[in-house]
Amino acid sequence: MTTTSDGSRRRFLRQTAAIGATFGGVVATRDALAQESPLVVPPWTKTPGLPLSEGNYGMPSPFEKNVVRRGRKDYRMPGSGSIMTPHGNLRGTITPSGLVFERSHGGVPEVDPAQHRLVIHGLVRQPLIFTMDDIVRFPSVSKIHFLECSGNTSQGWMNRPATVQLSHGLLSSCEWTGVMLSTILDEAGVAPNASWLIAEGADSAGLNRSIPIAKCLEDTMLVYAQNGEALRPENGYPLRLLLPGWEGNMSIKWVRRLRLASEPAMTRWETAMYTESMPDGTARQFTFVMEAKSVITDPAPERPLRAHGFMEIRGIAWSGNGRIKRVDVSTDGGRNWRQAELHDPVLNRALTRFTLPWQWKGEPALIMSRAMDETGYVQPTHRQLVAVRGTANRYHYNAIQPWQIAGDGKVTNVFA
């Protein structure tokens, strides 16, 4: 069910004149429109348009040139840093490949697919080396999954997110095509004492992570295509791992090595980095799953309110533990909650759209969304999360995001 209820339709209907008046749109009179051509004929109708872009890869309209990835460079290593998906300008659940977030620790390698090799060795019956042609011949799957950096929304620990892009932009969603890792492991033959897989990338950082064998056999993919086309260079071309629902750095890009072992490798990426400093001075390690989260993307700092009357609150929700079961929305700072509509298809470990009709009459309002996944887990508030994990942490922030709407329609983050 994705159409509005009769009640909200009637409410919207009564608002029509106000929309036109406020937005500068003209609600034409019956007389004016009785003529055949009440519209001004715009200049682009009067001349032939641009030629077909034959032989070129298509690009967005020049009017959308500000919808790009932005973020932070990390000068400790050339090419390293992260740039974010502009969710405050997007609609739907698929992230176009050209806007998928980038997180790199050693820049983007220019891998020649004809030269690329994947090795599987260690505790296996038969070590193997694969070309890309070999990999593509295996039985294939296509799955829509989100991919999220464990540092996504990390500004929330300091409660200072500025925009949806800068707070929630280390998150993207694609249709991924490749082969189940279990198929490849089956081919090599996993030894009974192999309980971890150490995966290594071909980038200059040589990023490597230890993955429990159970996740490898459950739903991990070796991916070579994203949104129908070959993986993008910054997303791991020509081959990457994808661990649905787990922190993004484990989905090793440009993957070249899979080593089966009886112990985790304790690499710098799971000791010096990607661990969580707790209030008692200890660190949480191997915190793999990205827990349930949601964010309102409209209205949002990128999308202020420009008129009173009917509107639709829209957002996205996701969980590394499965499907989203329910999203509630509050427009009064969390005192009252209404259940939002979830839009089909609600897929496993994928972005789910939610919407809720709302009448805004110009009053200041504090809006927020709260996701629940199919395990029953409920997205916490900032206070609840900080009470357990403190504020020295950099990763796995997943608290409710409040947006303050001012009387003039401007939207900002507030402490709540």
Binds a copy of itself (CB under 8 A): choice among 145, 314, 325, 349: 314
Binds a copy of itself (CB under 8 A): choice among 146, 157, 237, 246: 237
Binds a copy of itself (CB under 8 A): choice among 55, 192, 281, 364: 55
Q: Where are the beta strands (DSSP E) in 340-387?
A: 341-342, 352-360, 365-373
Binds a copy of itself (CB under 8 A): choice among 47, 192, 361, 415: 47
Binds a copy of itself (CB under 8 A): choice among 137, 338, 383, 410: 137
Give Cα separations from 191 to 69, 92, 188, 215 (angstroms): 43, 43, 9, 16
- Assign 3-class secondary structure to 380-416: CCHHHHHHHHCCCCCCCCCCCCCEEECCCCCEEECCC
Between CA 349 and CA 25 the distance in angstroms is 40
Q: Are 157 and 168 in contact (CB under 8 A)?
A: no
Binds a copy of itself (CB under 8 A): choice among 170, 186, 400, 412: 186
Considering the rule CB under 8 A, would residue 374 count as an interface residue with a copy of itself?
no
Considering the rule CB under 8 A, would residue 4 count as an interface residue with a copy of itself?
yes
The Cα angle at residue 156 between residues 154 and 158, in degrees rounded to 5: 100
Candidate ranges 90-98, 157-165, 260-268, 406-414; the one touching a copy of itself (CB under 8 A): 90-98
Minimum CB–partner distance for residue 100 and a copy of itself (Å): 7
Within 5-44, the residues that bind a copy of itself by CB under 8 A are: 8-9, 12-13, 16, 19-20, 23-30, 32-34, 38-40, 42, 44
Within 333-352, the residues that bind a copy of itself by CB under 8 A are: 343, 345, 347
Q: Max alpha carbon distance in the chain (Å)? A: 82
Tokens of 289: 């799953």
Binds a copy of itself (CB under 8 A): choice among 7, 75, 127, 195: 127
Cβ distance to a copy of itself smaller for residue 228 or 376: 228
If one counts every other C-beta atom within 10 angstroms of the C-beta of residue 325, the result is 19
Minimum CB–partner distance for residue 283 and a copy of itself (Å): 28
Tokens of 136: 């593509």
Helix (H/G/I), strand (E/B), else coil: 261:
strand
Cβ distance to a copy of itself smaller for residue 23 or 375: 23
Considering the rule CB under 8 A, would residue 214 count as an interface residue with a copy of itself?
no
> Residues 6 or more apart from 156 whose CB is under 8 A from it?
167, 382, 397, 399, 401
Q: Where are the beta strands (DSSP E) in 202-351?
A: 208-212, 221-226, 229-230, 240-242, 255-261, 276-277, 283-284, 293-298, 309-318, 324-330, 338-339, 341-342
Between CA 380 and CA 170 the distance in angstroms is 20
Considering the rule CB under 8 A, would residue 203 count as an interface residue with a copy of itself?
yes
Minimum CB–partner distance for residue 292 and a copy of itself (Å): 20
Tokens of 336: 């009252």
Minimum CB–partner distance for residue 78 and a copy of itself (Å): 4
Between CA 83 and CA 164 the distance in angstroms is 13
Binds a copy of itself (CB under 8 A): choice among 53, 75, 76, 263: 53
Binds a copy of itself (CB under 8 A): choice among 168, 257, 325, 349: 257
Binds a copy of itself (CB under 8 A): choice among 7, 75, 141, 395: 141
The DSSP secondary structure of 294-330, one letter per residue, reads EEEEESBTTB---SSEEEEEEEEEE-TTS-EEEEEEE
Considering the rule CB under 8 A, would residue 212 count as an interface residue with a copy of itself?
no
Minimum CB–partner distance for residue 364 and a copy of itself (Å): 20
Considering the rule CB under 8 A, would residue 217 count as an interface residue with a copy of itself?
no
Give Cα separations from 308 to 13, 23, 88, 270, 360 (angstroms): 14, 10, 20, 50, 5
Number of residues in contact with a copy of itself, rule: CB under 8 A?
Answer: 140
Cβ distance to a copy of itself smaller for residue 234 or 291: 234
Considering the rule CB under 8 A, would residue 102 count as an interface residue with a copy of itself?
yes
Minimum CB–partner distance for residue 338 and a copy of itself (Å): 15
Considering the rule CB under 8 A, would residue 207 count as an interface residue with a copy of itself?
no
Within 273-312, the residues that bind a copy of itself by CB under 8 A are: 306-307, 310-312
Considering the rule CB under 8 A, would residue 180 count as an interface residue with a copy of itself?
yes
